[in-house]
């Protein structure tokens, strides 16, 4: 059937590209499986090249065949039993693998492991090749490598995915996904400038490097960030295991769909369609472990703030090696906050590129004429290289006369040069009236909606909807992606602005309302007008809305009305008189009345959606419904009947899901010719009583009765002779099925899940060939009928959670077609029947959670069984001796079988079993014949607390890759590995009783991950440890008796993480420098360590070194050479007396922690002018971000600190007197307004000796302060206020208490407070996007500063807001505050800790609606507290208030502020005073 692909086709190959290259061993699969696969690929219009025998001549692969491979985007290689016997196919495979494109392996009747290891039939074939090509060993080696690589790819196994028809469907689906994801250079056609930019990004991207990388693409709107990310995504995607493009992240958050987006992302990456996580972070260790092993490509497009990334990736601390994440954003700060240092600055198109794109859009030309170049120059002076603007301008001129083009370009040049919105508006102005209206409809209501849906609504509103949409596409104002209407953000914003400008102050005079608060206000005040054409109202975040009966009467021209998330939230206490007669679309979720208004004329209505309504009926009598196409009444639980629809000739669809009280359907439905068959099925979905079927019905093939109150089906059900699918899930009242059930000869799927009163399944009195899926899970069945064997075509049988099931019929073995049998949770099932005859097809059997004590001895008759699940079979005590006869078994799960003490001997080899889970069993040992599991890849014995012995022949498990023994607390000896084990890469021995590892551990030559955490008896590591050349991660945390780490006698390049925390090590070996790839070294809480080797500096790859709590470590070694990569060093809690003079060689150090170094008193001579109590002045040279000095009791002053510092924590530095150097922070350019991403947190809590003088002259506010000094203070705060966050904590600095001293030199901290707040006033009026600062200040004190506008005793206050607090500036016409509180602490000793202060502000407006926002900060205190004054300002909350559309056009008249303490006993600690200071005044 493939004759068309003969050698004569070789010439045509040169000129063609293919989607798929289909490779197979002809005689094995040509006339069967491959023919069906080829046919289905062609049916999907996938251009497929068939690998044909006639193209094979001579000894080498032909040029024609090679071209076909290279010209194909995906290769599907079908590996069959005799595949490797042909040198041709092996050579072809080498070429396929070399091309590095998508390869989809299909393992047809062969085990993937036979490919990887060249075993089985592949071993025989290669034995012959070795003989035939003894003089060309390199060629055979290349073939082996290609097979091994192909065998490791994720593919399709015919022994897992059955039958062949399903396998073909899955492969075609996989190919389609890859083709949708993959790309070729043709995909860049028309994308001007993208290829150059893509190459620039890829140079940063460094695809192929093994480490994980994140890349940011930053630029203005319309510049092409998404286009570039998309091009890169498709260009490199076939180098990753899974890929995911998260489009429109910002928009998803605005629509409250980030959770949905995250679940789609995880489902795609983990290939789990049912995955759902509702928590803020991804906490599952199992999920994170799966993610850490996958090489993935993820694009996060249009990210506007850090919180979006934190939500999408929250809790994910590691993604697989080689993974790449691309983030596109308009805000560079987002990338900085994410820690992304690879940032591509997306520039505008250059002059040549701009001309090329313009001519492409305006003239469809790549070779512009002189006139075209001249016109380009005129037009492009406005576009400024922005691709979106260029495309819009060019598209608007296409096909027009020269005079028109010149006139329009002249008009365009009057647009302000820098205003991109005005350029876009020019494009809008060129539309005709209908096109403008359609554009605005899409911008306000239909962006992202399905094109057919949009066209359906538009068609009823406009005369030329189809052509209008096409014109909008042609003019680049909208686009269509996957049949959804797409519109660029800037274009949408332009459309929204146009509608706003129709009436800036009076909402009701606009044509469209889409902002929830705006729609709410107009409706609540009954202000609708004839101007309104469309209203959308999302009630999810609003108070309940009570509508007047006349609420809709003034909006006579309204065409589009959508209320959603409105169930129970829109009230019609007095009914509704009418709805607008021109409505085309009415969507009202939770409509509260029993029927629609009687005065409502539905003549124009196209779609009526009243899901979750209280409707009992729609209307009385007949209505003219000539335009009505769709009715949706899903979940309208009170609906009793549907009206006469005979006058709805165009009705296409009725949805009545879960209308459980519907009792009647109109006879007129049968005359509606446009109503599709699929929709006719929906009529019957939720009828309460099912009628007798008086005659045969051939056309009804699907019947859904799930969730109905049916008690039984009629005996005439057999008349549904065409019925293929019958769904009765969750029919809780169903007690009986008719005896005539067997007459449903066409039935294929029958679902009865959750029919909890169904106790008896009827006898099957005749064979039913076609029924292949039967779901009885959750029923009350006690047994199955003996005639179950008559279901001769049954493939899938589920009895999960049938808690009354006690018996399975002896005839069970007659189900010869059965492939999957599920009995999970059948708590009373104690006996599994004997299998009297072989069952070839059954490959999955789930017995987990049953009360089985043993399996029958005839279990070996399940010769096709792949998966056997017996997890949590707590009564299981015995496995049959002939278990080894399950030759096809691949996965065997026995987790939690807590009474299983003996695993049977394996009397013969079992090649297929690759996963064995014995966690939590009572096994004391494994059988000596365990080596017969020659294909075992994964063996888990975690928490086998009785296990004391592993067999000596453990090393025979040559295929073993993962071996888990965590928590085997009685296992004292690990066996010698008498031979190399290449495949084992993960060994988990955590929590075992091992005292040592065997000297032969070096034979585990493929070991990558070795964990010995919490092996408290471990005293020795073997000298051969260094032989583990593949080892990457080695964990010893909590091995409290391990005193010596062995010498590393040779270099270990791969080891990058070593955790020795909590061990009893006294020193590291001098050969530690041989760990040349080490990145992370953790020695926290090694309380015996006293010495670090001089060779420490040789760890050139080291990035993080943790020595926290090494309380006996007194000397840090000299760093004899530069260490560029070490950026984090934690020395907190050590006994260091000095740092070496060579500390400056740590040139990459960013985070240095030395808190609680109580004896730190000296630095060597390199630190000039240092003394016993001071840090060295050279510390300013370090690029530190964080300096932790907590509990340095002898530290008296701070030198000039590094300008990069963001956090200084000097808590409990009780001798600290002078910190005047901190003033220099604010003189750094890093704190100026144009770089607002820096933070500064200064914590001087419990610095008891720190006085006002010690803070520095610039922050000294005595009476003698000069004007120059005051000016300096203002400059300090002006710079500081533009930090991302600013925290100054002077808790327990008693000498700073403004009332603690007396005399003429009484300190006054009011001035610094006042200057800070003064500058906040200016800051508050900045653009909303920059309001992202948190500012916190704390000093001792007992009174609110005098200059605060409002003060009150106690913890709450009520403020009448002045009328001048309303401004014409929409950014600031709401009040915002700096809050202050005095907190009193108990006189009795206070133990210290953390607590938080919350200021919650409730605002009331003239509209009588409330708004609320709050500021929160937490503080850490030691003991000995006095009263303290706190100043708190949360710019994040301010920003949200500014951005909130609800704040516009509000005049707030009253504010109530409440202060709360968290974490303290309120009976002892209280807010004594509170105050509020306004941020601006007119």
Distance CA 112, CA 115 (A): 5
Q: Which residues pair with 79 in a beta bridge?
A: 107
Distance CA 870, CA 855 (A): 10
Taken as a whole, the chain contains a residue count of: 1482
Structure tokens at 99: 């091309």
SS3 570: strand
Backbone angles phi, psi at 191, to 5 degrees: -95, 85
Note the Cα 1395 to chain centre separation in Å.
33
Query: Peptide bond preceding 536: is omega within 30 degrees of 0, i.e. cis?
Result: no
Whether 761 and 738 have beta carbons less than 8 Å apart is answered as no
Whether 420 and 490 have beta carbons less than 8 Å apart is answered as yes
Closest to 1186 measured CA to CA, from 1143, 1242, 1233:
1242
Closest to 900 measured CA to CA, from 947, 833, 957, 866:
947
SS3 366: coil
Q: Which residues pair with 106 in a beta bridge?
A: 78, 156
Active site residue 92: yes
Closest to 647 measured CA to CA, from 633, 666, 632:
666
**In the chain, how many H helices and how many E strands?**
31, 56
SS3 86: coil
Q: Of these residues, 53, 54, 92, 1314, which one is catalytic?
A: 92
Per-residue DSSP letter, 442: I
Distance CA 623, CA 763 (A): 50
Distance CA 336, CA 303 (A): 13
- Alpha helices, H only, 338-475: 351-362, 370-383, 387-397, 402-412, 420-429, 433-441, 451-461, 465-474
Whether 765 and 741 have beta carbons less than 8 Å apart is answered as no
Position of tokens 């509260």?
592
SS3 217: strand
Per-residue DSSP letter, 201: H
Backbone angles phi, psi at 648, to 5 degrees: -120, 70
Whether 739 and 712 have beta carbons less than 8 Å apart is answered as no
Vertex 1461, ends 1459 and 1465: CA angle to 5°? Answer: 140
| CB neighbour burial string for 825-860, b if at least 16 within 10 angstroms, e if fewer | bbeebeebeebeeebebbbbbbbbbbebebbeebbb
Closest to 723 measured CA to CA, from 692, 699, 689, 695:
699
Distance CA 1286, CA 1242 (A): 8
Distance CA 1398, CA 1415 (A): 6
Distance CA 1410, CA 1401 (A): 10
Position of tokens 């302060």?
1265
- Alpha helices, H only, 618-667: none
Position of tokens 């004594």?
1472
Distance CA 871, CA 875 (A): 11
Map 798-844 to HEC letters.
ECCCCCCCCECCHHHHHCCCCCEEECCCCCCCCCCCCCCCCCCCCCE
Distance CA 36, CA 42 (A): 10
Per-residue DSSP letter, 58: S
Just list the catalytic residues. 92
């Amino acid at each position: 059937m493939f004759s068309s692909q003969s050698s004569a086709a070789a010439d045509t190959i040169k000129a063609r590209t293919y989607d798929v290259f289909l490779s197979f061993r002809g005689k094995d699969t040509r006339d069967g499986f491959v023919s069906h696969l080829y046919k289905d690929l062609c049916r999907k219009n996938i251009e497929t090249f068939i690998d044909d025998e006639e193209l094979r001549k001579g000894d080498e692969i032909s040029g024609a065949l090679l071209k076909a491979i290279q010209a194909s985007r995906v290769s599907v290689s079908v590996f069959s039993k005799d595949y490797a016997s042909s040198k041709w196919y092996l050579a072809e495979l080498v070429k396929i693998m070399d091309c590095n494109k998508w390869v989809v392996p299909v393992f047809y009747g062969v085990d993937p492991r036979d490919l990887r290891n060249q075993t089985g039939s592949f071993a025989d074939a290669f034995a012959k090749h070795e003989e035939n090509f003894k003089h060309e060993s390199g060629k055979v080696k290349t073939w082996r490598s290609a097979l091994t690589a192909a065998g490791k790819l994720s593919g399709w196994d015919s022994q897992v995915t059955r039958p062949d028809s399903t396998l073909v469907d899955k492969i075609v689906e996989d190919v389609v996904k890859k083709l949708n994801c993959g790309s070729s250079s043709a995909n860049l056609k028309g994308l001007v400038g993208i290829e150059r930019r893509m190459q620039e990004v890829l140079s940063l991207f460094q695809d192929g490097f093994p480490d994980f990388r994140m890349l940011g693409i930053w630029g203005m709107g319309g510049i092409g960030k998404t286009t570039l990310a998309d091009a890169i995504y498709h260009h490199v995607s076939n180098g990753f295991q899974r890929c995911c493009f998260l489009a429109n992240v910002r928009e998803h958050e605005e629509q409250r769909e980030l959770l949905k987006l995250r679940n789609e992302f995880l489902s795609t990456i983990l290939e789990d369609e049912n995955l759902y996580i509702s928590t803020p972070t991804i906490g599952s260790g199992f999920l994170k472990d799966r993610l850490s092993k996958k090489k993935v490509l993820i694009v996060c497009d249009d990210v506007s703030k850090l919180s979006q990334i934190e939500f999408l990736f929250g809790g994910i601390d590691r993604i697989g090696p080689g993974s790449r994440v691309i983030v596109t954003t308009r805000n560079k700060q987002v990338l900085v906050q994410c820690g992304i240092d690879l940032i591509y600055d997306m520039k505008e198109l250059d002059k040549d590129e701009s001309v090329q794109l313009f001519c492409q859009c305006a003239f469809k030309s790549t070779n512009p004429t002189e006139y075209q170049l001249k016109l380009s120059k005129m037009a492009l002076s406005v576009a400024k290289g922005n691709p979106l603007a260029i495309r819009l301008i060019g598209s608007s001129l296409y096909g027009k006369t020269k005079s028109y083009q010149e006139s329009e370009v002249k008009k365009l040049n009057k647009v302000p040069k820098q205003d991109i919105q005005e350029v876009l508006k020019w494009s809008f102005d060129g539309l005709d009236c209908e096109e403008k209206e359609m554009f605005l409809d899409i911008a306000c209501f239909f962006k992202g909606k399905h094109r057919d849906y949009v066209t359906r609504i538009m068609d009823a509103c406009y005369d030329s909807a189809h052509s209008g949409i096409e014109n909008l596409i042609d003019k680049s104002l909208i686009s269509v992606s996957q049949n959804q209407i797409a519109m660029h953000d800037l274009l949408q914003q332009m459309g929204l602005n146009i509608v706003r400008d129709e009436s800036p102050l009076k909402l009701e005079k606009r044509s469209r309302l889409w902002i929830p608060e705006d729609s709410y206000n107009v409706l609540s005040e009954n202000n609708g007008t004839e101007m309104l054409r469309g209203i959308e109202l999302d009630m999810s975040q609003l108070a309940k809305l009570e509508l007047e009966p006349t609420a809709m009467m003034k909006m006579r021209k309204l065409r589009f009305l959508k209320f959603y998330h409105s169930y129970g939230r829109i009230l019609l206490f007095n009914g509704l008189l009418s709805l607008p007669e021109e409505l085309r679309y009415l969507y009202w979720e939770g409509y509260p009345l029993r029927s629609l208004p009687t005065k409502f004329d539905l003549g124009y209505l196209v779609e009526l959606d009243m899901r979750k309504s209280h409707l009992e009926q729609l209307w009385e009598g007949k209505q003219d419904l000539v335009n009505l196409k769709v009715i949706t009444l899903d979940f309208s639980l009170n609906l009793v009947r549907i009206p006469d629809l005979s006058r709805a000739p165009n009705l296409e669809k009725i949805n009545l899901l879960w209308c459980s009280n519907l009792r009647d359907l109109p006879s007129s439905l049968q005359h509606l010719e446009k109503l599709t068959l699929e929709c006719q099925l929906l009529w019957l979905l939720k009828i309460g009583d099912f009628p007798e079927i008086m005659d045969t019905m051939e056309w009804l093939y699907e019947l859904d009765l799930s969730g109905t109150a049916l008690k039984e089906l009629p005996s005439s059900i057999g008349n549904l002779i065409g019925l293929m699918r019958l769904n009765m899930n969750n029919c809780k009242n169903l007690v009986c099925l008719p005896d005539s059930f067997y007459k449903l000869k066409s039935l294929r799927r029958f679902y009865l899940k959750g029919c909890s009163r169904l106790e008896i399944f009827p006898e099957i009195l005749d064979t039913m060939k076609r029924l292949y899926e039967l779901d009885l899970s959750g029923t009350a069945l006690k047994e199955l009928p003996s005639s179950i064997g008559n279901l001769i075509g049954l493939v899938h049988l589920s009895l999960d959670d049938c808690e009354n099931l006690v018996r399975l019929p002896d005839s069970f073995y007659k189900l010869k077609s059965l492939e999957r049998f599920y009995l999970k949770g059948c708590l009373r099932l104690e006996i599994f029947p004997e299998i009297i005859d072989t069952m070839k097809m059954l490959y999955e059997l789930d017995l987990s959670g049953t009360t089985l004590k043993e399996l029958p001895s005839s279990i070996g008759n399940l010769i096709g069984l792949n998966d056997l699940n017996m997890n949590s079979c707590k009564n299981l005590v015995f496995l049959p001796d002939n278990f080894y006869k399950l030759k096809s078994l691949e996965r065997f799960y026995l987790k939690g079988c807590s009474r299983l003490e003996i695993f049977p001997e394996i009397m013969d080899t079992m090649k297929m079993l690759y996963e064995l889970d014995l966690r939590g069993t009572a096994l004391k040992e494994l059988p000596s014949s365990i080596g017969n599991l020659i294909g075992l890849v994964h063996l888990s014995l975690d928490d086998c607390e009785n296990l004391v012995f592993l067999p000596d022949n453990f090393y025979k498990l040559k295929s073993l890759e993962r071996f888990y023994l965590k928590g085997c607390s009685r296992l004292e000896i690990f066996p010698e590995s008498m031979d190399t084990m290449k495949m084992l890469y993960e060994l988990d021995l955590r929590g075992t009783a091992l005292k040592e590892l065997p000297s032969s551990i070096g034979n585990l030559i493929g070991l990558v991950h070795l964990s010995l955490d919490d092996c408290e008896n471990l005293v020795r590591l073997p000298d051969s440890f260094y032989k583990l050349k593949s080892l990457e991660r080695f964990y010893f945390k909590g091995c409290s008796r391990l005193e010596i780490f062995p010498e590393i006698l040779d270099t270990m390049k791969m080891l990058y993480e070593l955790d020795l925390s909590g061990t009893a090590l006294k020193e590291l070996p001098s050969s530690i420098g041989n760990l040349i790839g080490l990145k992370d070294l953790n020695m926290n809480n090694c309380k015996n360590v006293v010495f670090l080797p001089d060779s420490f500096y040789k760890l050139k790859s080291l990035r993080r070194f943790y020595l926290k709590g090494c309380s006996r470590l007194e000397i840090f070694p000299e760093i004899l050479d530069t260490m560029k990569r070490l950026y984090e060093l934690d020395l907190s809690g050590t006994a260091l007396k000095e740092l070496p003079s060579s500390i400056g060689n740590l040139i990459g150090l960013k985070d240095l922690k030395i808190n609680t170094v109580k004896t730190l008193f000296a630095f060597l001579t390199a630190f000039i002018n240092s003394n016993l109590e001071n840090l060295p002045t050279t510390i300013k040279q370090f690029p530190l971000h964080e300096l932790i000095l907590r509990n340095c009791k002898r530290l008296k002053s701070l030198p000039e600190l590094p300008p990069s510092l963001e956090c200084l924590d000097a808590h409990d530095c009780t001798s600290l007197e002078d910190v005047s150097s901190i003033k220099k922070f604010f003189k750094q350019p890093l704190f100026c307004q144009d770089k607002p991403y820096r933070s500064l947190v200064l914590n001087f809590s419990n610095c008891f000796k720190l006085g006002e003088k010690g803070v520095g002259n610039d922050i000294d506010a005595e009476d003698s302060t000069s004007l120059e000094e005051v000016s300096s203070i203002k400059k300090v705060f002006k710079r500081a206020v533009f930090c991302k966050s600013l925290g100054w904590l002077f808790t327990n600095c008693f000498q700073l208490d403004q009332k603690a001293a007396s005399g003429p030199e009484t300190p006054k901290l009011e001035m610094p407070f006042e200057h800070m707040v003064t500058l906040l006033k200016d800051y508050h009026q900045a653009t909303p996007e920059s309001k992202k600062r948190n500012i916190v200040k704390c000093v001792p004190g007992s009174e609110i500063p005098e200059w605060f506008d409002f003060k009150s005793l106690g913890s709450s206050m009520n403020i009448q807001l002045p009328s001048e607090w309303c401004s014409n500036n929409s950014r600031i016409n709401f009040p915002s505050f700096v809050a202050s509180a005095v907190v009193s602490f108990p006189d009795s000793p206070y133990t210290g800790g953390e607590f938080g202060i919350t200021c919650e502000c409730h605002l009331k407006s003239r509209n009588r609606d409330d708004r609320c926002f709050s500021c929160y900060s937490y503080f850490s205190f030691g003991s000995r507290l006095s009263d303290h004054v706190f100043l708190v300002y949360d710019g994040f909350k301010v920003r949200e208030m500014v951005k909130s559309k609800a704040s516009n056009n509000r005049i707030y008249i009253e504010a109530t502020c409440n202060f709360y303490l968290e974490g303290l006993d309120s009976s002892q600690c209280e807010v004594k005073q509170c105050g509020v200071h306004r941020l601006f005044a007119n």
